Amino acid sequence: MKEKLVLMALSIILLCSPGVYSQERMHSFEVGISGSAVNHSRTMLSDFHVTKGGDYVFSLEEKSLYGGINLYAAYELKPWLFLDAQGTVGLARHYGAGSLKQGGSILAGPGLQFRPCFGERWVQPYLRLGVNYYHKDFPAYWFGTFEGDFTREGVWKAEDSWNKGSTFDKDTYIPVSAGIGVVGWLSERVGIRIEGNYLRSLGSKGANFAQGSAGLVFRFGGRSLRPAPAPERIVEKLIEKEVVKEVPVEMIREVLKEVPCGNTIDVLMDNVTFDFDKAELTPDSEIVLDEVAKIIASYPEDRFLVSGHTDARGGETYNEQLSVARARAVYDALILRGVPESQLCYRGFGKRAAVVPGSAGDDVRRGDRKVVLERITWKPLWNYLKNNQ
């Protein structure tokens, strides 16, 4: 059974590893520390004796909760899938040899978190499945006899809500876990994590119990939790040249305005559109991008953001991904035409800039399915865009 679980875990990790899908974004890494409460019942019976009147007397002590410290680490495989590892060290009191003693437990193992609301950045609920190693050094005594019972006929049995009918007390076993949790971010890097798990023993040689944790979590890398700043559009410069002409009779001064011949980048990019639900460049768009690449070549010191957009139809998350694919298609096409990578970066903005409602006809909505080229002049903004591409 252990070998099958290990092979299953390795298969899931390989299938979901970041090497098999787009590396357009950075992956986040989380670490945290929490306080834990473990609901593992303990039943202790002691001091069994017979009174002079023939009554049987014993002391019964039951405990359920004990506390501990939980250490946590998680790595983002996909926006909706995280691989984590958790370990909990618990302290549990128990009765033995006529006195109350201090025992403990260790619970550790990997798990997968499914975060369905990955579009919501500040509050991230999740479902978790895991497999664990559990060891304790205190007795639970689910079933036993009364020590000191000279009749040897007295038998006692303990049950709780998690282990009805149990007759075992095993110290080391492998439980699987299922739970729910939520991470609420207080800032870009610090948040609060709350999680509850139900642990069930594989087979019939271990106890079932529950655990809850709450504490701080720290985040490294990953996309920003704040909305991306709205990029600025290109404004073509109007070049004014002052020319002085000399004539024999008098000096005449006139101002001539030189405007670049042909279409501007804005006008050209208006002709780069996409079919509904597609991110492939059309043959007409390929011709337009030939001209765009020539214009960019005349601005070697400038930096440009390629912004992808969709029309109003479809969900926000899907349109966000589609707009990134469209921006990437134009980005790759310009690189292929000799534009240096140092001059370009790309982003997708989904349907946030759509001006036509989804109920409009396809010919009208085509204007919203576009890619816009924007000049970035503020160096800190450019550095941010390149570093978080």
Is pTM beyond 0.85? Reply is no
| CATH fold group of domain 21-220 | Porin (2.40.160)
* Nearest in space to 92 (alpha carbons), one of 28, 50, 60, 136: 136
Query: Between 283-297 and 316-336, two packed helices, what is the crossing angle to 10 degrees?
Result: 60
pLDDT tens-digit map of 133-162: 999 988 887 777 777 676 777 777 777 778
* Nearest in space to 158 (alpha carbons), one of 146, 171, 141: 141
* Nearest in space to 312 (alpha carbons), one of 248, 244, 249, 362: 362
- How distant is the alpha carbon of residue 53 from its chain centre? 68
pLDDT tens-digit map of 293-309: 888 888 888 898 888 88
What type of residue is 206? G
All structural domains of the chain with their residue ranges: 21-220, 261-387
Q: What is the pLDDT of residue 7?
A: 56
Q: What is the pLDDT of residue 131?
A: 97
Q: What is the pLDDT of residue 231?
A: 52
Mean pLDDT of 273-294: 84
pLDDT tens-digit map of 88-125: 999 988 766 667 788 899 999 999 999 998 777 899 99
pLDDT tens-digit map of 196-228: 999 999 877 788 999 999 999 999 988 888 765
Residue appearing with tokens 């490294």: 220
Handedness of CA 358, 362, 365, 369 (dihedral sign): positive
**Mean of all residue pLDDT scores within the chain:** 80
Share of the chain above pLDDT 90, in %: 27
Q: Alpha carbon of 174 to those of 207, 214, 346, 352, 385: distances in Å?
A: 10, 24, 48, 49, 46
Task: Give the span between the Cα atoms of 379 and 385, in whole angstroms.
Answer: 10
What type of residue is 235? V
pLDDT tens-digit map of 159-204: 777 887 777 778 899 999 999 999 999 998 999 999 999 999 987 7
Choosing among 3.30.1330.60, 1.10.260.40, 1.10.3720.10, 3.30.420.40, the CATH entry for 261-387 is 3.30.1330.60
- Residue 23 backbone phi and psi in degrees, to 5: -105, 40
